Amino acid sequence: MLQNIQNWADKKPLAVASLFLLAAALYFLAPIVFSDPSQLFGHGGRDVGTDSFAQVLWPEMRLAVAIMLAVMLVGMGRRTGLTTWPKAPALLLTFPFVAFCIFVIFTPLLVNRTGLDGVTLSPSDWKSIWTTCIVAVLVGFFEELLFRGILLRSLMTRMNAALAVIVAAIVFGLFHYVNWVSGQPLGITTMQVLGAMAGGLLFGAIVLWTGSLWPSVFLHGLWDASVSVSQTLQLDLSPKGEVTEVTLDPLSVLTNPEFVYGALLLAVWLLVDSRRRRTGTK
């Protein structure tokens, strides 16, 4: 029976990807059955900083383990890039974004003109930060395996790689509307959707360059952690009681570092791939 499932998965990769997406959506939407209806569809609140990550540690861990086991069970480990070692030279392309993530973490210290001595986080806050880092890795692993491993690789059987990266990025972004259904305000969710699309473009381009899923998992987790930690530091350094206004500007995605760097990497990959095809080189 297992062999039959694996054969079906080989013949119908898009169908398999659709089933994985449906299962993930149901997993995230299931808790709304026990939620207050008045808090759903954009009428709830939004957690900021490490708290929003800390409360989803175990659900994300269960989901990450479950999807990995399912992928291995249907024999998709190599196809998704899960068991493929990245191309060493291409790993250099991750360095600029890693440097940017580090800059994001220290931005609150620069803006407030203070050093780490100005940070007054409690031991519990630091514990939450470490929890955030763990959850960020789990989220990065789950989302990359689902959208860049399963979905992207499945789309590449039906279309060229660059278009598949774009389509997978769009689906990845739209998937975040489950947060709106769960209560997150529509405007904030839409900005999250656009940001996720930008990130999907970058992570997909990294998968094309490296041939492996792991570099995109690392960058995804690092980005989520750096943004969350930066928000926590900003809240700690801001005057007590001061609330930072969230600017909702959809066009800002065009200047999003993930979008800019992702588009650049994808464009260069297209040029290199086109040259390879003309010359017949690998």
Which is it for the CA torsion 24, 27, 28, 29, positive or negative?
positive
Contact between 141 and 258 under an 8 Å Cβ cutoff? The reply is no
Cβ atoms within 10 A of the Cβ of 186, count? 15
Inform me whether the pLDDT recorded for 248 exceeds 60: yes
CA nearest neighbour of 226 among 253, 199, 261: 199
Inform me whether the pLDDT recorded for 241 exceeds 50: no
Describe the crossing of helices 57-73 and 13-29 by its angle, rounded to 10 degrees. Answer: 160
Q: How many CA atoms does the CB half-sphere of 237 hold within 13 Å?
A: 20
Which of 16-30, 34-48, 209-223, 224-238 shows the lowest mean pLDDT across its residues?
34-48
Inform me whether the pLDDT recorded for 245 exceeds 70: no
pLDDT tens digits along 93-108 = 999 999 999 998 877 6
Mean pLDDT of 39-53: 56
In this prediction, residue 243 carries a pLDDT of 46
pLDDT tens digits along 110-154 = 655 555 555 566 677 677 778 778 888 888 898 999 999 999 999
Q: Provide DSSP, 73-139.
A: HTT-TTTTTTT-PPPTGGGGGGHHHHHHHHHHHHHHHHHTT--GGG----HHHHHHHHHHHHHHHHH
pTM: 0.86
Contact between 273 and 218 under an 8 Å Cβ cutoff? The reply is no
For residues 125 and 37, give the distance between their C-alpha atoms in angstroms, rounded to a whole number.
31
Inform me whether the pLDDT recorded for 53 exceeds 60: no
What letter would DSSP give residue 149?
I
Q: Work out the pLDDT band at 24, boundaries 50, 70, 90.
A: confident
Which of 20-34, 123-137, 177-191, 216-230 shows the lowest mean pLDDT across its residues?
123-137
Mean pLDDT of 77-83: 86
Contact between 173 and 255 under an 8 Å Cβ cutoff? The reply is no
Integer CA distances (angstroms), 201 to 1, 167, 265, 277, in order? 37, 9, 9, 23
**In this structure, which amino acid lies at residue 149?**
G
Cβ atoms within 10 A of the Cβ of 158, count? 11
pLDDT tens digits along 147-200 = 999 999 999 999 999 999 999 999 999 999 988 887 778 888 898 899 999 999
In this prediction, residue 119 carries a pLDDT of 56
